[in-house]
């Protein structure tokens, strides 16, 4: 039987959920310090939105490929191309404990084709997190010990959030 929602409906649901979730996250981390991380650059849509929401913050960006128009190419020293399993551990050596918000947009059309990413990417993200950091994702990437938080406005399209550790409002040393 044909699904009730068209492909266009589902795309609108997804993009709407992402915009609402990212806007909500920006409010959650307002007044704190720390970098932002985009795990899954893809076509650069949510990266561009993060740039708009966080004009003053550094954004670390990860993907296997660079497939964005020139205007959306991140700065060279903030872009990490290659498999997350190689690039995340390497970047964490330099940027550990300095990220306030992670957006892990790592899914594809079929979860079965994702190499089990929801089971391993959280462990690679955790070393980046400043105390009280927020992680948002299109997949259940949370680890035990991460406090799951409800992401508003995502009823039509699932999106997941976690607060990791106590919130620190202290300025960086
Ligand atoms: C849903 S798309 C990201 C969409 C993007 N946020 C946007 O708004 O256009 C997921 C991305 O994760 C990347 N990806 C998935 N598994 C990966 C892996 N193991 N290593 C590196 N990149 C990966 C894919 O190349 C893809 O670009």
Q: What is the CATH number of the domain that holds 159?
A: 3.40.50.150
152 part of a folded domain? yes
To the question of pTM greater than 0.75 for the whole model, the response is yes
76 by Cβ neighbours in 10 Å (0-12 / 13-18 / 19+) ranks as exposed
The verdict on residue 98 lying in a domain is: yes
84, part of any domain: yes
- Report the side by side order of strands in the sheet with 99-104: 79-81, 59-63, 35-39, 99-104, 129-137, 160-164, 147-149
- 2 in a domain, yes or no? no
**Three-class secondary structure assignment of 94-145:** HHCCCEEEEEECCCCCCHHHCCCHHHHHHHHHHHHEEEEEEEEECCCCCCCC
- Is 81 part of any domain? yes
The binding-site residues of ligand 1, defined as CB within 6 angstroms of any ligand atom, are 40, 42-46, 63-65, 83-84, 105-107, 117
Q: For residue 164, give every residue at least 6 positions away whose Cβ sits within 8 Å of its Cβ, in sequence order, or none.
A: 126, 129, 132, 133, 134, 135, 145, 146, 147
State the total domains in the chain. 1
Mutate to test the pocket of ligand 1, among 40, 43, 69, 71 (most ligand atoms within 8 A of CB): 40
In a domain? residue 123: yes
Instruction: Tell me the residue range of the domain where 98 lies.
Output: 7-169
Per-residue pLDDT of the chain (173 residues; tens, 9 = 90+): 777 899 999 999 999 999 999 999 999 999 999 999 999 999 999 999 999 999 999 999 999 999 999 999 999 999 999 999 999 999 999 999 999 999 999 998 888 888 899 999 999 999 999 999 999 999 999 999 999 999 999 999 999 999 998 865 555 54
Could you give the C-alpha distances from 30 to 25, 114, 167, in angstroms and in order?
9, 33, 12
135 lies in some domain: yes
Q: Does 1 reside within a domain?
A: no
Interval between CA 150 and ligand 1 midpoint (Å)? 23
């Amino acid at each position: 039987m044909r699904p009730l929602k068209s492909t266009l409906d589902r795309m609108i649901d997804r993009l709407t959920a992402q915009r609402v979730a990212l806007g909500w996250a920006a409010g959650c981390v307002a007044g704190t310090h720390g970098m932002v991380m985009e795990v899954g650059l893809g076509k650069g849509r949510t990266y561009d939105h993060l740039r708009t929401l966080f004009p003053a913050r550094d954004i670390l960006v990860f993907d296997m490929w660079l497939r964005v128009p020139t205007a959306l190419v991140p700065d060279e020293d903030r872009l990490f191309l290659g498999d997350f399993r190689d690039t995340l551990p390497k970047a964490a050596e330099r940027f550990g404990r300095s990220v306030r918000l992670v957006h892990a947009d790592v899914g594809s059309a079929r979860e079965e084709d994702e190499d089990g990413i929801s089971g391993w990417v959280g462990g690679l993200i955790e070393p980046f997190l400043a105390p009280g950091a927020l992680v948002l994702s299109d997949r259940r990437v949370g680890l035990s010990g991460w406090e799951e938080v409800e992401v508003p406005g995502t009823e039509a399209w699932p999106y997941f959030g976690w607060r990791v550790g106590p919130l620190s409002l202290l300025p960086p040393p």
